[in-house]
């Protein structure tokens, strides 16, 4: 290892609904760092006292905490207070990107394309509104808890009864839920590393959408990288990814997700500031196409703390 990173805390696990995915990501990152001779240690905020990071003389932190407490600015703020450098986006951009509604509002203000939507709050939702909401959003909607990732609590619905059921399920994860007009088309993702777009990936699943099962449990999900787009369409996608990432103030590394509808129109879905980092996750797949093996990718991300 030509760079001395000092003592590195790999933060993973945590208390969010995405804990299991974070455990897998964190173990992969820790193993890669150890293979590269980095003095790295596992640190799980669910069991380890994060106030001890300074006392234990950690020089920097590699954040692999997905979801709340790790991807929403909370741990970033704590590390900033301790003056411990960390990977990924800062406090503000992490908090904004975690909130799908705030992210969409910023994109809309900059005329970046995103699907029509409505925010539903648990305390004020009346089931009698369901039919009108569906009509307003073209009849079929995607239901998304505002502050969750990994497709947790998400559902595609096209009638009032199903919408009410899906909202009640989503409210188990969040008091605010985003309803988006359903977009028929293909789903793409662009990983960002050091301000540059990595090769885009097109995801293909037999499920209704690229849900938790398709991401983490299915053997049938297909990943196309190169993604098969014509050069001009690919350049358009990469520019849009860079603009969307910068609009929220994100930095270092992350991932921007898209839909391409049947008319050829792009729609931004969301930004992930701490994407999955198992050896088969999307960012490592894109990095491999760009010439980085998994260990090189992990080191490249950690270099952002220097």
CATH number of the domain encompassing residue 38 = 3.40.50.20
Say if residue 219 is in the same domain as residue 269: yes
Of 21, 4, 301, the residue nearest 149 (C-alpha): 21
Of 181, 199, 223, which residue constitutes the final position of a domain? 181
Do 43 and 13 belong together in one domain? yes
Return the pLDDT at 218: 60
User: Model-level pTM?
Assistant: 0.89
CATH code assigned at 166: 3.30.1490.20
Neighbouring C-beta atoms of residue 159, cutoff 10 Å: 13
Residue 257 annotated in active site: yes
Active site (annotated) includes residue 276: yes
pLDDT score, position 215: 55
The pLDDT assigned to 293 comes to: 96
The pLDDT, as a whole number, for residue 154 is 84
Q: How many domains does the chain have?
A: 3
Question: Residue 195: which CATH number?
Answer: 3.30.470.20
Buried b (16+ CB within 10 A) or exposed e, 235-258: eebbebbbebbebbbbbbbbbbbb
Q: Are residues 104 and 191 in the same domain?
A: yes
Cβ-based neighbour number of residue 230 at 10 Å: 8
Instruction: Tell me if 257 is assigned to some domain.
Output: yes
Residue 2 lies in a domain: no
Is residue 200 a contact partner of residue 229, using CB atoms and an 8 Å limit? yes
Q: Are residues 172 and 210 in the same domain?
A: no
Alpha helix locations (H) across the chain?
19-35, 74-82, 91-98, 100-109, 130-136, 160-170, 212-216, 231-247, 282-289, 294-302
The yes-or-no answer on residue 77 being catalytic is: no
d(CA 231, CA 179): 33
Structure tokens at 19: 């804990």
Residues 188 and 286 in one domain: yes
For residue 298, being part of any structural domain is answered with: no
Structural domain for 219, as ranges: 96-113+184-292
Identify the active-site residue in 44, 187, 211, 270.
270
Same domain, 198 and 168: no
**Residue 14 a catalytic site member:** no
- Are residues 139 and 258 both part of a single domain? no
Same domain, 188 and 232: yes
Helix axes 294-302, 19-35, angle to 10 degrees: 90
Mean of pLDDT over the chain: 92
Residue 174's pLDDT is 84
Residue 153 is predicted with a pLDDT of 79
Q: Which of 13, 16, 18, 93 is catalytic?
A: 18
User: Do residues 151 and 219 both lie within one domain?
Assistant: no
Q: Are 241 and 106 contained in the same domain?
A: yes
231-247 and 100-109 helices cross at what angle (nearest 10)? Answer: 110
From 25, 89, 93, 150, active-site residue? 150
* Active-site annotation holder among 255, 267, 281, 292: 255
pLDDT at 211: 55
- Residues 41, 60: Cα–Cα separation, whole Å: 11
Q: What integer pLDDT is reported at residue 257 of this predicted model?
A: 95
Does residue 1 form part of some domain? no
Selected catalytic residue, list 216, 243, 251, 261: 216
Whether 202 is in a domain gets the answer yes
Q: Could you confirm whether 101 is annotated as catalytic?
A: no
Q: Are residues 142 and 29 in the same domain?
A: no
**3 state SS of 300:** helix
- For residue 126, the model assigns a pLDDT of 87
Gap between the Cα atoms of 272 and 276, Å rounded: 9
Per-residue pLDDT, 219: 67
pLDDT score of 85:
98
- From residue 121, give the alpha-carbon distance in Å to each of 10, 81, 130, 267: 35, 33, 13, 24
Q: Is residue 135 part of a domain?
A: yes
Residue 222, C-beta contacts closer than 8 angstroms, at least 6 positions apart: 203, 204, 205
Q: Which residues of the chain have pLDDT under 70?
A: 1-2, 148-151, 207-219
299: its two tokens: 């080191």
Alpha carbon 166 to chain centroid, angstroms: 22
Asked, for residue 299, whether it belongs to a domain, the answer is no
Tell me the per-residue pLDDT of 242-295, one tens digit each, with 9 for 90 and over. Answer: 999 999 999 999 999 999 999 999 999 999 999 999 877 999 999 999 999 999
Q: Is 20 a catalytic residue?
A: no
Given 158, 181, 204, the domain boundary residue is 181
**Do residue 204 and residue 271 come from a single domain?**
yes
Neighbours of 82 (CB within 10 A): 15
Which of 134, 155, 181 is the C-terminal boundary of a domain?
A: 181
**Predicted pLDDT of residue 152:** 73
Look up residue 259 and give its two tokens.
């839909």
Which one, of 57, 46, 70, lies nearest residue 9 by Cα?
A: 57
Given this model, what pLDDT does residue 188 score? Answer: 96
pLDDT at 138: 86
């Amino acid at each position: 290892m030509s760079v001395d990173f000092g003592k590195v805390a790999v933060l993973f696990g945590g208390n969010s609904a995405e804990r299991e995915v974070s455990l897998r990501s964190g173990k992969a990152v820790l193993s890669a760092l150890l293979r590269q001779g980095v003095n790295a240690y596992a640190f799980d905020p669910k069991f380890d006292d994060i106030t001890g990071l300074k006392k234990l003389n950690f020089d920097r932190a590699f954040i692999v905490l997905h979801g709340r407490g790790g991807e929403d600015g909370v741990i970033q703020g704590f590390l900033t207070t301790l003056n411990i450098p960390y990977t990924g986006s800062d406090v503000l951009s992490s908090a904004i990107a975690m909130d799908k509604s705030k992210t969409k509002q910023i994109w809309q203000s900059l005329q970046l394309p995103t699907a029509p939507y409505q925010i539903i709050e648990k305390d004020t939702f009346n089931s009698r509104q369901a039919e009108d909401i569906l009509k307003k959003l073209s009849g079929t909607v995607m239901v998304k808890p505002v502050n969750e990732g990994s497709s947790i609590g998400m559902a595609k619905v096209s009638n009032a009864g199903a919408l009410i059921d899906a909202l009640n399920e989503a409210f188990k994860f969040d008091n605010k839920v985003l309803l988006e007009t359903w977009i028929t088309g293909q789903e793409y993702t662009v990983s960002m590393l050091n301000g540059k777009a990595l090769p885009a990936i097109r995801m293909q699943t037999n499920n209704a959408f690229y849900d938790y099962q398709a991401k983490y449990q299915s053997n049938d999900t297909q990943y196309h990288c190169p993604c098969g787009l014509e050069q001009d369409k690919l350049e358009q996608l990469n520019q849009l990814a860079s603009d969307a990432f910068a609009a929220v103030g994100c930095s270092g590394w992350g991932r921007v997700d898209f839909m391409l509808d049947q008319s050829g129109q792009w729609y931004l879905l969301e930004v992930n500031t701490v994407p999955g980092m198992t050896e088969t996750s999307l960012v490592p797949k894109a990095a491999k196409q760009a010439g980085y093996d998994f260990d090189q990718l992990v080191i490249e991300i950690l270099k952002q703390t220097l």
